[in-house]
Amino acid sequence: MNIGIVCYPTFGGSGVVATELGKALAAKGHQIHFISYRQPVRLDSFHENIWYHEVNVSDYPLFDYQPYELVLASKLVDVVKYEQLDLLHVHYAIPHASAAYMAQQILKTEGIDIPFITTLHGTDITLVGKDSSFEPVITFAINQSNAVTAVSESLKKDTLDHFKVNRSIEVIPNSICFEGCEAPELDLELQKSIAPNGEKILAHVSNFRPVKRVCDVVKIFAKVRAEMPCKLLLIGDGPDRHVAETFCREHGISDDLIVLGKVKDTQRVLGIADLFLLPSESESFGLAALEAMAAGVPVISSNTGGIPEVNEDGFSGYLSNVGDVESMANNALSLFQNEEKLNQFKEQAFGQAKKFDILNILPIYEKLYKRVVEMKGVKLF
C-alpha cells in the first residue's frame, strides 16, 4: 500500500512510534510517505520505500501565529494526489486529525476519496485535549476519522470519558523493534566512565515536562543513594531539568548526577543502566519504559494511566502510587540489594518488552489499513 504518515518529528513518543511503524511497514514493501515540519529524529538515514515531505510554514508578518494546520492540509492534498496515496495515518489528534479531515474534504471535490486513521497518543487527549478550547475540534476530528486507535485501554477510556465520541476506538499498543534493531553490545567504556567504582545506575528518559515528575526522580535517587552508592543518568531535556539539578546541588549529590541531554542512541545508554525510573503524573502508555525494558532494564514507575499495561508489577519492575517516592525508593533498593533478584527482573523486563515486538503489532495495523481502504471502496494504486 501507499501510505502517508503524519507525525511530530521530535523526540516525543508519538513521533518515535510513528517513525518506527513507518520503517517497519517500508521493510515489508509498503510505500511510506512521512509528512511533517521537520525530518523525524528516528528517520536519520536512507531507507528503501520511504519518502519525506516537509511542511514549510512561511513567516508572513501579518500572522502572529502561523496557520500550520492549513499548510499541513494543503501539503496532504498535494502528496495524496501526486504520490497516489491509498490512506493517511495521522499520529496525535491535534492538529493532524483535523488537517487530514480538511484534506479529505478538499480531495473529495476532485473526485478522490482518501480515508484517514487517527492514532491517539495521550497528551492530545489527557492534557491538551481536556483544554476546553480544543474540545469541539478534537471531538469532531475523532468522530470523522475513518478509524481511530488508542495506544492503551487506559487512553481509550479517557477518550470516551472526556469526549462525546460516537464511534468505536480500537486499542493497538505501541511497539518496539527487535529484529534488525538489536541492542548494541554493552558499552563497557561508557559504563566505566559513568560508574567507575561499579556503582548501580538509575536512568530516566523524558522531555522533563511537569507531567514526568522529575522532582520525584531525584527524590528517589537521593533516598537510594543514602543507602548505597549509585548514579543517576538523566537523558533528554526540558523545562524541569533545572528542578533536578537544583535539588541535587542543594542535597550535595550533584557529583553522582549525569545529565546527558538529548542523545539519539538511547538504547546504547540504557544498556548500562540497572533500573529505569518513570514516576509520571499521567502516562497513556510509557514508551520510555518499554524502551528501557527492551534494553533489559526493569522499571520503577507510578501506576497511572497505561503504565500498568506495559510494566507488570513484581515482574518487569514495580508500580507505586503517583508521588509515593518512599515506596519507589524501597522497590529500587529491594532489587539493588539482591543481585540475583535484580538479574531475574532484568531478564523478565526483556521478556515483557518482547510482547510488544513490532512484528506482532504490524499485522494488526495492516489489517486495519486494509479494512479501512476496502470500506471506502478506494481503488489501490
Summarize as ranges the residues that interact with ligand GMT (CB under 6 A).
12-14, 17, 92, 121-123, 126, 151, 174, 207, 209, 211, 282-287
DSSP β-bridge partners for residue 258: 233
* CB < 8 Å & 24+ apart, contacts of 322-329: 322/213, 322/279, 322/280, 322/281, 323/213, 323/216, 323/279, 325/216, 325/219, 325/220, 325/223, 325/279, 326/223, 328/216, 328/220, 328/277, 328/279, 328/300, 328/301, 328/302, 329/219, 329/220, 329/223, 329/224
* Cβ nearer to ligand GMT, comparing 112 with 171: 171
* Cβ nearer to ligand GMT, comparing 19 with 31: 19
9: cell is 518529528
To the nearest whole angstrom, how small is the minimum distance from the Cβ of residue 18 to ligand GMT? 9
* Cβ nearer to ligand GMT, comparing 151 with 244: 151
- 237 close to 204: Cβ distance less than 8 angstroms: no
* Cβ nearer to ligand GMT, comparing 53 with 209: 209
To the nearest whole angstrom, how small is the minimum distance from the Cβ of residue 92 to ligand GMT? 6
Which H or E run includes 353? helix 339-354
* Cβ nearer to ligand GMT, comparing 152 with 331: 152
Q: Is the backbone peptide bond immediately before 95 cis, with ω within 30 degrees of 0?
A: yes
Whole-angstrom Cα distance, residue 214 to residue 245? 10
* Cβ nearer to ligand GMT, comparing 80 with 319: 319
92: cell is 496525535
SS3 state at 10: coil
To the nearest whole angstrom, how small is the minimum distance from the Cβ of residue 126 to ligand GMT? 6
* Cβ nearer to ligand GMT, comparing 121 with 219: 121
The dihedral over CA atoms of 11, 15, 19, 25, expressed in degrees to the nearest 10, equals 150
Whole-angstrom Cα distance, residue 379 to residue 381? 6
To the nearest whole angstrom, how small is the minimum distance from the Cβ of residue 20 to ligand GMT? 11
The Cα diameter of the chain in Å comes to 69
To the nearest whole angstrom, how small is the minimum distance from the Cβ of residue 314 to ligand GMT? 21
Whole-angstrom Cα distance, residue 108 to residue 97? 16
Whole-angstrom Cα distance, residue 286 to residue 273? 18
* Cβ nearer to ligand GMT, comparing 146 with 311: 311
To the nearest whole angstrom, how small is the minimum distance from the Cβ of residue 229 to ligand GMT? 31
What CA–CA distances, in Å, run from 207 to 38, 140, 146, 236, 239? 18, 29, 31, 6, 8
- 128 close to 99: Cβ distance less than 8 angstroms: no
To the nearest whole angstrom, how small is the minimum distance from the Cβ of residue 121 to ligand GMT? 4
* Cβ nearer to ligand GMT, comparing 86 with 309: 309
To the nearest whole angstrom, how small is the minimum distance from the Cβ of residue 131 to ligand GMT? 14
To the nearest whole angstrom, how small is the minimum distance from the Cβ of residue 137 to ligand GMT? 17
